[in-house]
Amino acid sequence: MEKKLSVAERQEVDRQLAVLQRGVAEILPAADLEKKLIRSVKTGKPLKVKLGLDPSAPDIHIGHTVVLNKLRQFQDLGHLVQLVIGDFTGRIGDPTGKSETRKQLTEDEVKENAQSYADQLFLILDREKTEIHLNSRWLSSLDFSAIVDLAAKTTVARMLERDDFSKRYHSGQAISVHEFFYPLMQGYDSVALESDVELGGTDQTFNLLMGRQLQPHYDQEEQVIMTMPLIEGLDGVKKMSKSLGNYIGIQEQASEIYGKSMSIPDDLMVKYYELVTDISLEKLGEVKKGLAEGTLHPRDAKMALAHQLTAMYHGEAAAEEAEAGFKRVFQERSLPQDIPAVPISSADLEDGEIWIVPLLAKLGLVASNGDARRMVKQGAVKIGEEKVTDVDARIALTEGMIVQVGKRKFAKVTMGS
């Protein structure tokens, strides 16, 4: 048994625990985390904290940041982050959720994606305390007997406990044998890296536990599992994901981050505050209380959230500007500052005039001519201050004319030749 902790060491462990427990869905098992932290504090050896990344989608959105922020906290406490890019795993396709066969990535694409990941991740993570690994390094060299050996460490019954496997099994949907290897491979990553902790979304619980189950077979101490809540996207219902298009990318423009943040349902605000911003627990409490008691206007709370998020990725100045732009367009209903200028060729004009329908299409404000007609009929089109409701209208173009469709789409006409 270990030596008794000094008072200072005990305090340090408690401090770390307090930080790490915030906003977490589950720690499995909680006691093990404490045990590992105690050892780390005593020996000065950092914990190895692993996160697996999908190799095919290197677009980081704020849904990912829930986990990344937690990793950053580990780093700030002196621990080491191991990022695993599942380049090998990606060839099989994670059966989690919708199973669609993924296209196999070439080595170059993987490298490119890894670089792209790095660029984005280091907006949040500390480069000095981060290792990046490709799991093909250890997985591609396993031979068949090693694989059989690995597969023998778990059972079919255990596999079928996994939520989506069990659902598919009972509803008579196909489960390919190779899909069972996905959790095994992810678990083996932990073995290869001797991870102390693995993070993931709550939907990853099963896969994360697999690493924990495998490690003792390879004479390693089991890793601790930390799952983070999944965050709903802009629609407020479905998990934020790129494929659903309901996400806020951390590399998006400041005005986009601000605007998209403003479009989340009110009910989601507190969760966003809690999981994707770094405001203090006290402030979080104030916001919650203010909203509950009606002393804080939901709009103001959301604007503060949007501001905060924008500032995290673009800095305070850009956040100010995005906020001013938002107010200008949506609250004062006036024009934004940066209206794209689109050239219209004089060849398209007849006597200096052009029909409204093709004009909107040429300006890129509508998807098709039919769409243009619809917009006009619905009263969505404005030229300058004038609303245009006549589908047959012919417009006398002038340089710098502002054309607006709906609330958000603007274009400025410039005369090309």
**Which residues are annotated binding-site positions?**
242
Q: C-beta of 175: minimal distance to RNA in Å?
A: 7
- Name the residue nearer to RNA (CB basis): 29 or 340: 340
Q: C-beta of 113: minimal distance to RNA in Å?
A: 24
* Residue 93 found at the interface with RNA (CB under 7 A): no
Q: C-beta of 367: minimal distance to RNA in Å?
A: 6
Residue numbers 251-290 binding RNA by CB under 7 A: 255-256, 259-260, 262-267
- Name the residue nearer to RNA (CB basis): 115 or 378: 378
- Name the residue nearer to RNA (CB basis): 289 or 407: 407
- Name the residue nearer to RNA (CB basis): 203 or 371: 371
Q: C-beta of 303: minimal distance to RNA in Å?
A: 8
Residue numbers 372-411 binding RNA by CB under 7 A: 373-375, 378-380, 405-409
Site map 134..173 versus RNA, x via CB under 7 A: --------------------------------------xx
- Name the residue nearer to RNA (CB basis): 263 or 414: 263
Return binding residues for ATP.
Answer: 242
CB 180 within 8 A of CB 96: no
Q: C-beta of 329: minimal distance to RNA in Å?
A: 7
Residues 6+ apart with CB under 8 A from 412: 339, 340, 341, 342, 400, 401, 402, 403
Q: C-beta of 46: minimal distance to RNA in Å?
A: 42
Residue numbers 316-375 binding RNA by CB under 7 A: 326, 330-331, 357-358, 361, 367-371, 373-375
CB 255 within 8 A of CB 301: no
- Name the residue nearer to RNA (CB basis): 146 or 237: 237
Name which position in 302, 307, 314, 362 contacts RNA (CB under 7 A): 302
Rounded-to-integer distance, Cα 321 and Cα 384, Å:
24
Sites of contact with RNA (CB under 7 A): 172-175, 234-237, 245-246, 255-256, 259-260, 262-267, 297-299, 302, 326, 330-331, 357-358, 361, 367-371, 373-375, 378-380, 405-409
